[in-house]
Amino acid sequence: DAEEEAGEEKGESKTAAATSVDEDSIEELWKSLPYDLRARVLTMRNILRSSIIGRGSKVSGIFFSSGNEFLAIFKETISVQKERLAEARERLEEVVRERKEEFDVKRQRRGRWFDSSAAAEEKFVYGGDVAYSRRQIEKQSKRLATLESFYQEQKILFSNCGDGDCKISFGSR
């Protein structure tokens, strides 16, 4: 038993030493690569680590020539989503105004036989498809906030390879 344990300890120390040597040689190899090549490798690593591209995304086969291109496309997507959300909010406001006007017309035409209570007006103006649209707009607003937060996270992730020398971490994230 003592001989087995000593053998196992020697094996473990050899493995640790080999790992240390491997990491040193990998680091040396990395530093010997041209800066442009290291930048591209880091860009691809960062894109693959990206939550949008690398983690169970339905998007596949997407390649970017640089991290800046990835960020620019991402920023444009956010901008388009913001515009669509603003348009949806404007349209919802229009519908609410139109329904209020329509309710006022019905109130005047039908007289006292018409339920003109605040609850009836609320149901007519804000019920049905307006309520549904409000929920969808709220969901989209939250999604957009998440995308903007994620974009900021990606900017940080891609900023590790800026004007200076690129640094790479060989450990898992």
pLDDT by 10s per residue, the chain, length 173: 555 555 555 555 555 555 566 777 777 777 777 777 777 777 667 666 665 544 444 454 555 666 777 788 888 888 998 999 999 999 999 999 999 999 888 888 887 778 888 898 899 889 889 999 999 999 999 989 988 888 888 787 777 655 434 444 444 44
DSSP state of 113: G
Question: Using CA atoms, how far apart are residues 31 and 70, in angstroms rounded to an integer?
Answer: 25
DSSP state of 90: H
Asked whether 85 and 91 are in contact (CB, 8 A), the reply is no
pTM of the model: 0.55
Distances (CA, A) of 146 to 140, 152, 161: 10, 10, 24
